[in-house]
């Protein structure tokens, strides 16, 4: 049953639509300003694997990843439509983000009415941009959210119309969220639990189970089709190892006690200047649990919030961009808070009823104002340094440009380090499927096997160029890390390659020495070496 929309004065609706328009203008302006930011590691991985798809290579054939292949497919679309550049990727993100904002509005309108739906959509637009969740980068979590909120909207409409076909479509949409990244499974569970709960109250148990089977069948189909395609391409074994076996090991490394410490340290940072919106969401959650103000759909909101929170938790790493999965629920709860305030003030004059909406407007404006320096004013190099520190993301562009100018299209390269963006920028194929070296350094049972495989692939391919990243952020080696590949790299590079580039990564920027290095220049603590194979 749809919630009864609040009866707002026309002037309040005008204020609400003006708020949404102003929010979208600010958000799009900021995203366009930041569109030239260099790709970071996850973006570099997706861009490279997306380019491989466009070249006709199957996922996991030339690039190994523990992530499902859906996001690589999204990137392939971005590259095909907007071009092969960081700006193209971020333009694609803008499109996805705006569609997600629109669907969030429709979902909020369905739950609370028009004005509260506007607040929910505006809240998501602001929260999903914040640097605290790395909102400016095109992470997979942005793309998981879109089919999730769309699936939720279709599911509610299916229940309104008692449509089995729409239940199946909703399942397919939730299945797409899983295909984009594994935590999407929690949203499939949300859809199934919520559907069963509603049906169990209104229908007999047998019919409720049948409709849930239809939903889950739709959810399985995208994954099943993908597995079949990977099987016929001959890469299913690699896919299964990386996304199931290794991913399972990766997700079990952090203990519960460590997880609590990580979350306690990360969560205040995640709130950042957006804390007023999170406060609205907390009020909305209290309203759902303890009052009858939004009692009609409180089951939806609470179940969605719980599953969204659980989607952030796999592995207990709590990295900032994981919290994007929680933002639709936070935004809807903010809308619930406005709806509750409106019902309390409904007999009052329009000027009084407008106060909660104005309060929401201030909560939305505060984080944009606080982050205006980053969002609107800084140059791209300055903005990159603010959010990415001294990670070698801008340096990767110049490294790739040099390699591309000195190579043929048929040449291959290998990067010893976790900088997959270099592969994308260079427009050359990798000599190894290991485009990340983090798994090799982890104290996990497959690490030594992975190192030997990477060594074998590089020695077999004999890449034209080899890039050695001497930065711990690109390896995360610990005292218990296997050192086999690091010892091999010293011997192999010295025997088979000549140094043709040194990039010193410094706090003030980077110094580049291509082709020849002056005798008095020494490698900095953080540096990158470019080697060319000896003739």
Put the strands of the sheet holding 497-506 in their side by side order.
429-430, 412-416, 465-470, 527-533, 497-506, 509-514
The whole-angstrom separation of Cα 375 and Cα 131 is 9
In this predicted structure, what is the pLDDT of residue 291? 76
Residue 111, class by beta-carbon neighbours within 10 Å (0-12 exposed, 13-18 middle, 19+ buried)? buried
The whole-angstrom separation of Cα 76 and Cα 426 is 17
Position 3 confidence tier, pLDDT thresholds 50, 70, 90: very low
Whether 295 shows a pLDDT value over 60: the answer reads no
Position 6 confidence tier, pLDDT thresholds 50, 70, 90: very low
Question: DSSP secondary-structure letter at 525?
Answer: S
The whole-angstrom separation of Cα 358 and Cα 366 is 12
In this predicted structure, what is the pLDDT of residue 377? 96
- What is the residue-wise DSSP string for 220-278? HHHHHHHHHHHHHHT-HHHHHIIIIIIHHHHTTSS-HHHHHHHHHHHHHHHHGGGHHHH
| φ and ψ of 95, to 5 deg | -60, -45
CA proximity to 43, closest of 424, 297, 430, 504 = 424
Provide the 10 A C-beta neighbour count for residue 318: 18
In this predicted structure, what is the pLDDT of residue 8? 60
In this predicted structure, what is the pLDDT of residue 302? 93
Residue 2, class by beta-carbon neighbours within 10 Å (0-12 exposed, 13-18 middle, 19+ buried)? middle
pLDDT digits (tens, 9 = 90+) for 269-281: 999 999 999 999 9
b/e per residue 58-68 (b: at least 16 CB within 10 A): bbbbbbbbbbb
Whether 515 shows a pLDDT value over 50: the answer reads yes
- What is the residue-wise DSSP string for 86-139? HHHHHHHHHHHHHHHHHHHHHHHHHHH-HHHHHHHHHHHHHHTT-GGGTTTS--
Whether 63 shows a pLDDT value over 60: the answer reads yes
For residue 175 the two structure tokens come to: 């299945």
Please compute the mean of the pLDDT values over residues 125-144 and round it to a whole number: 98
In this predicted structure, what is the pLDDT of residue 141? 98
| φ and ψ of 514, to 5 deg | -100, 150
Q: Virtual CA dihedral for 49, 50, 55, 60, nearest 10 degrees?
A: 30
CB 89 within 8 A of CB 39: yes
Task: Find all residues with CB under 8 Å of 419, minimum gap 6, and list them.
Answer: 41, 44, 392, 396, 467, 469, 474
Which secondary structure element, helix H or strand E, spans residue 194, and what is its range? helix 185-202
CB 182 within 8 A of CB 314: yes
For residue 291 the two structure tokens come to: 């009052």
Q: What is the share, in percent, of the chain residues with pLDDT greater than 90?
A: 87
The whole-angstrom separation of Cα 529 and Cα 454 is 19
The whole-model pTM stands at 0.95
In this predicted structure, what is the pLDDT of residue 10? 79
In this predicted structure, what is the pLDDT of residue 1? 40
Q: Virtual CA dihedral for 421, 427, 428, 434, nearest 10 degrees?
A: 20
CB 420 within 8 A of CB 531: no
Position 350 confidence tier, pLDDT thresholds 50, 70, 90: low
> What is the average pLDDT score of the chain?
94
For residue 511 the two structure tokens come to: 């110094």
Assign 389 to helix, strand or coil.
coil
The whole-angstrom separation of Cα 23 and Cα 370 is 15
Q: Which residue(s) pair with 498 in the sheet?
A: 532
Please compute the mean of the pLDDT values over residues 520-534 and round it to a whole number: 96
What is the Cβ-side half-sphere exposure of residue 498, based on CA atoms within 13 angstroms? 7
Whether 390 shows a pLDDT value over 50: the answer reads yes
The whole-angstrom separation of Cα 455 and Cα 389 is 30
The whole-angstrom separation of Cα 470 and Cα 504 is 10
For residue 383 the two structure tokens come to: 């903005």
Position 202 confidence tier, pLDDT thresholds 50, 70, 90: confident
In this predicted structure, what is the pLDDT of residue 355? 87
CB 417 within 8 A of CB 391: no
The whole-angstrom separation of Cα 171 and Cα 179 is 12
In this predicted structure, what is the pLDDT of residue 234? 97
Provide the 10 A C-beta neighbour count for residue 248: 11
pLDDT digits (tens, 9 = 90+) for 203-233: 788 999 999 999 999 999 999 999 999 999 9
Give the CA distances from residue 117 to residues 5, 113, 364, in Å, rounded to whole numbers and listed in that order. Answer: 10, 6, 14
The whole-angstrom separation of Cα 61 and Cα 233 is 9
pLDDT digits (tens, 9 = 90+) for 298-345: 889 999 999 999 999 999 999 999 999 999 999 999 999 998 888 777
CA proximity to 119, closest of 135, 130, 108, 133 = 108
Position 348 confidence tier, pLDDT thresholds 50, 70, 90: low
Please compute the mean of the pLDDT values over residues 386-415 and round it to a whole number: 97
Whether 435 shows a pLDDT value over 70: the answer reads yes
Position 491 confidence tier, pLDDT thresholds 50, 70, 90: very high
Question: DSSP secondary-structure letter at 376?
Answer: I
Q: Which residue has the tokens 């299209």?
A: 409
Position 346 confidence tier, pLDDT thresholds 50, 70, 90: confident
**Angle in degrees, CA 427, 493, 422, rounded to 5:** 20
Position 2 confidence tier, pLDDT thresholds 50, 70, 90: very low
Whether 14 shows a pLDDT value over 80: the answer reads yes
Written in H, E and C, the secondary structure of 390-439 is CCCHHHHHHHHHHHHHCCCCCCEEEEECCCCHHHHHHCCEECCCCCCCHH
Please compute the mean of the pLDDT values over residues 142-159 and round it to a whole number: 97
Instruction: Name the more confident of 13 and 246.
Output: 246
Assign 370 to helix, strand or coil.
helix
CB 145 within 8 A of CB 324: yes
Please compute the mean of the pLDDT values over residues 352-365 and round it to a whole number: 90
């Amino acid at each position: 049953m749809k919630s009864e929309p609040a009866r707002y004065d026309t002037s309040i609706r005008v204020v609400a639509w003006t708020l949404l328009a102003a929010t979208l203008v600010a958000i799009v302006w900021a995203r366009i300003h930041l569109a030239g930011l260099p790709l970071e590691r996850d973006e570099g991985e997706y861009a490279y694997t997306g380019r491989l798809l466009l070249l006709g290579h199957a996922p996991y054939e030339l690039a190994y990843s523990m992530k499902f292949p859906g996001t690589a497919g999204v990137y392939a679309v971005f590259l095909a439509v907007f071009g092969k550049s960081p700006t193209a990727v971020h333009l694609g993100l803008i499109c996805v983000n705006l569609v997600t904002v629109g669907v969030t509005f429709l979902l909020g309108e369905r739950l609370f009415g028009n004005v509260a739906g506007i607040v929910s959509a505006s809240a998501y637009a602001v929260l999903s941009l914040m640097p605290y969740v790395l909102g400016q980068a095109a992470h997979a979590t942005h793309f998981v959210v879109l089919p999730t909120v769309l699936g939720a909207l279709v599911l509610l409409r299916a229940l309104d119309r008692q449509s089995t076909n729409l239940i199946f479509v909703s399942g397919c949409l939730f299945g797409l969220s899983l295909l984009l990244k594994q935590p999407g499974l929690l949203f499939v569970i949300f859809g199934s639990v919520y559907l069963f709960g509603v049906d169990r109250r209104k229908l007999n148990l047998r019919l409720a189970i049948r409709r849930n089977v239809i939903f889950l069948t739709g959810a399985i189909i995208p994954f099943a089709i993908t597995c079949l395609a990977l099987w016929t391409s001959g890469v299913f074994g690699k896919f299964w190892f990386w996304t199931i076996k290794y991913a399972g090991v990766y997700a079990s490394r952090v203990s519960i006690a460590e997880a609590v410490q990580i979350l306690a340290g990360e969560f205040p940072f995640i709130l950042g200047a957006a804390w007023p919106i999170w406060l609205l969401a907390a009020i909305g959650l209290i309203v759902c649990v303890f009052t009858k103000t939004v009692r009609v759909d409180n089951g939806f909101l609470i179940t969605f919030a719980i599953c969204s929170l659980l989607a952030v938790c796999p592995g207990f790493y709590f990295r900032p961009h994981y919290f994007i999965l929680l933002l639709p629920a936070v935004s809807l709860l903010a809308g619930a808070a406005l709806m509750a305030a409106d019902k309390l003030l409904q007999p009052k004059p329009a000027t009084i009823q407008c106060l909660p909406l104005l309060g929401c407007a201030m909560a939305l404006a505060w984080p944009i104002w606080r982050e205006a320096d980053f969002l609107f004013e800084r140059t791209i190099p300055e903005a990159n340094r603010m959010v990415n520190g001294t990670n070698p993301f801008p340096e990767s562009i110049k490294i790739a440009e040099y390699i591309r100018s000195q190579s043929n299209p048929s040449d291959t390269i290998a990067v010893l380090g976790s900088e997959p963006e270099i592969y994308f920028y260079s427009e050359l194929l990798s000599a190894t499927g290991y485009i990340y070296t983090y798994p090799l350094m982890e104290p996990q049972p497959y690490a030594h096997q992975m190192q030997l495989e990477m060594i074998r692939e590089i020695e077999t391919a004999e890449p034209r160029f080899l890039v050695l990243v001497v930065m711990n952020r690109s390896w995360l080696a610990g005292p218990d890390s296997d050192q086999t590949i690091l010892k091999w790299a010293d011997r192999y590079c010295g025997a088979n390659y000549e140094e043709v580039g040194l990039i010193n990564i410094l706090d003030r920027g980077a110094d580049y020495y291509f082709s020849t290095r002056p005798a008095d220049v020494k490698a900095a603590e953080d540096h990158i070496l470019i080697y060319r194979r000896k003739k």
